[in-house]
Amino acid sequence: MSADVSIGEGGRHLTAHPLRAAILGEVHARPFTAIETPRRILHFAFDTSGGRAAADQTALAAFCERRGLAAPKSSDRQHRVTFGGTVMRWEQHSEFTTYTWELPSAAQPPFHPPAAMLATPMTELPQPGPLLVALDVDLVQDGALKTPPEKLFDRASLAVAENSDGQALFATDFQTDPGGFVRVLIVDRGLGAERAGALVQRVIELETYRTLALLGLPEAQRLSPSINTIERRLAEITEEMRGTSVLTDNHRLLDELTALAAELEAGATASLFRFGASRAYNEIVHLRLQTIGERKVGGLPTWSSFLARRMAPAMRTCITIEERQANLSRKLARTANLLRTRVDVELEQQNRDLLTSMNERTRLQLRLQATVEGLSVAAITYYVVGLFGYIVKGAHDAGFIHVEPAFVIAGFVPVAALAIWGLVRHIRRSHFSGEH
């Protein structure tokens, strides 16, 4: 379908956004199909997450080609074919794929023959993935129904309602029959083919999305013990923090907090999609019920009241686990920051003590250096004066000096000491200036 727009007499084309065609097509995706009463509808939903969706589409294309039917294109997400008196509708969603088979129905008691005997066409296709939904919908005329719903279903979990104008009655007990199918009875009181098709599709979507929404409950039950353990250990660590001041203990507690945070985030990341999907599917269930517009039948519970009583606690559990994960993550972060601050303060205190110790050692080294420097001046002066004495005595013996050598040597001592001291200071200053 072209999404470009032509305007003016010359038919000038306005280039469309690349996604315009897909957006316009989405509004018309999955249209209601007219269904004549009576009819038997078998609906299956399979988990095709990962790479299973592409393999399923390939298998469906081969199935259609073997029977000379139009095969779905690689870009198709819905496909409908008719062969004989059977209609098959295929729909591919983000994480699941559905097959809906519309079969002729003879004038027989509801749900006869059993769905397992009618599901032969489904066995001709490879199973796309793990089965999520198997639904058996029997659409019957009001006058042909001889058995009341109370006799067809388990009375303890029976849910019955009429649509908004009373033109249809639909009933189920949400339990599986011996073949594994959940059975739904729809009584047509004058719907017409188009409204019957719309009601059937909404009922099918109700059961499909109800099942998908509840996939979050096992995930919540799996995570609950871990969250309980982390909450308990966090309380213990917080209590330990009040009584510990040793750096090694604080490091140990910080390492344990980090491990707890990693465990919690791993669980939260793994369940993020599942809990989000459960909320979305649960919202779709409520929207479908509102669209149907239920009316009570006698004293029996409607689908809305039954699901509110049975499904709402499960969804509340998922939401609670998700909220506990978020709250616990914030608490772990605050506790870890507090403990990290304490460790940093203790490290700063240790560093300050170390610097003080280093300053004291440096001061002692300077004192030692000054002492060694003084001794060095005295030692060098002693050797220089000694050498000078040999020169003076030699000069005196040779007659070059007529003064007593002892007086000359004595007068040379302070001169030599000052000169050597000045030289040592000059050398030391040169070293310091070179370091800077």
Residue closest to 100 by CA, chosen among 117, 130, 122, 83: 122
pLDDT at 28: 58
pLDDT at 48: 93
Q: Summarize pLDDT for 344-384 with one digit per residue, the tens.
A: 777 777 778 788 888 888 788 777 776 777 777 788 888 88
pTM of the model: 0.74
d(CA 132, CA 186): 22
Q: Summarize pLDDT for 404-426 with one digit per residue, the tens.
A: 878 778 888 888 888 888 887 77
| Cis peptide, bond prior to residue 110, ω within 30 of zero | no
- Cβ–Cβ under 8 Å, residues 124 and 64: no
- Cβ–Cβ under 8 Å, residues 214 and 281: no
d(CA 315, CA 308): 10
Helices (H), 244-311: 247-292, 303-310
The secondary element (H helix, E strand) that includes residue 185 is strand 182-188
Strands 182-188 and 78-83 come out as unpaired
Taking the alpha carbons of 373, 374, 376, 380 in that order, is the dihedral positive or negative?
positive
pLDDT at 17: 77
d(CA 44, CA 29): 19
pLDDT at 354: 81
Indicate the residue type of 30. R
Strands 96-104 and 159-162 come out as unpaired
Strand locations in 27-85 (E): 39-47, 78-83
Q: Tell me the helices (H) and strands (E) count for the chain, helix number first.
A: 11, 10
15, two tokens: 């280039």
pLDDT at 431: 64
pLDDT at 5: 62
The secondary element (H helix, E strand) that includes residue 101 is strand 96-104
**CA 265 to mean position of chain CA atoms:** 8
Indicate the residue type of 428. R
Backbone angles phi, psi at 398, to 5 degrees: -85, -10
Determine the length of the chain: 436
113, two tokens: 């023959």
pLDDT at 214: 94
Listed as ranges, residues in the chain with pLDDT below 50 are none
